[in-house]
Amino acid sequence: MTIDDDSLKFARYLAGVKARQIKFAYRSFELDDLEQILVMEVLVRWPSYSSGRGCAQAYIETVIQGKVCKIIRSRKREIVRERDICCDQCNALRAKNQSGGIREISLRLDVAVVTDQLPQKLAEACQLLEIETRASVAGAMGFSRNGLNAALVRSRAIFRDHSLDLYL
């Protein structure tokens, strides 16, 4: 069964709308390419359409929505893979840098000078933030989350005053 002109026109229109909505997921593709992918999905699946089961517009919407979901899911998987690769690279760099070196020793000394100037409770909170989330540190230290955020703003200002904002 071939697709009629009205259904094809509707498929193109809906594909254009959905392509503009999900353009963020496919940054490397042009808008026309996304539209073409969605329309091709409709054309490929059109032979399985049966007019006795529902109207053509509903079928086209379902097909396009299904393809959009697949596109978004695959993009999310790509993002997770990219993040995992990035984390692996960061962990490799950390392991490499943990072997020591003049730069690391210098950084530790600079940070130690600044952290000595912080109030004790804030210094403890900063140390806990290396391994805990903000919410858990706020609860453990007796800060509200807003109070912890304000204290961190103050500590960042101290780091900036000592020209260490590169390490924030």
Lowest-pLDDT range, 24-38, 62-76, 80-94, 149-163? 80-94
65 CB-near residues (< 8 Å, 6+ apart): 18
User: What is the DSSP track for 44-77?
Assistant: HHGGG--TTTS-HHHHHHHHHHHHHHHHHHHHHH
pLDDT of the residue at 32:
79
Asked if residues 49 and 61 have their Cβ atoms less than 8 Å apart, the reply is: no
140 confidence band (pLDDT: 50, 70, 90): confident
Residue 96 half-sphere exposure, CB side, CA atoms within 13 Å? Answer: 6
Q: In Å, what is the CA distance from 40 to each residue of 15, 36, 64, 77?
A: 10, 6, 10, 23
**Does the model's pTM come out above 0.85?**
no
Question: Is the confidence at residue 153, as pLDDT, over 70?
Answer: yes
Residue 159 half-sphere exposure, CB side, CA atoms within 13 Å? Answer: 18
At 37-72, the pLDDT tens digits run 899 999 999 998 888 888 989 999 999 999 988 888
| pLDDT-above-70 percentage for the chain | 77
- Mean residue pLDDT of the chain comes to 78
d(CA 145, CA 56): 53
Domain boundaries, the chain: 5-95, 101-167
Amino acid at 54: G
pLDDT (average), residues 110-123: 76
d(CA 61, CA 70): 14
d(CA 31, CA 109): 52
CA end-to-end span of the chain, whole Å? 63
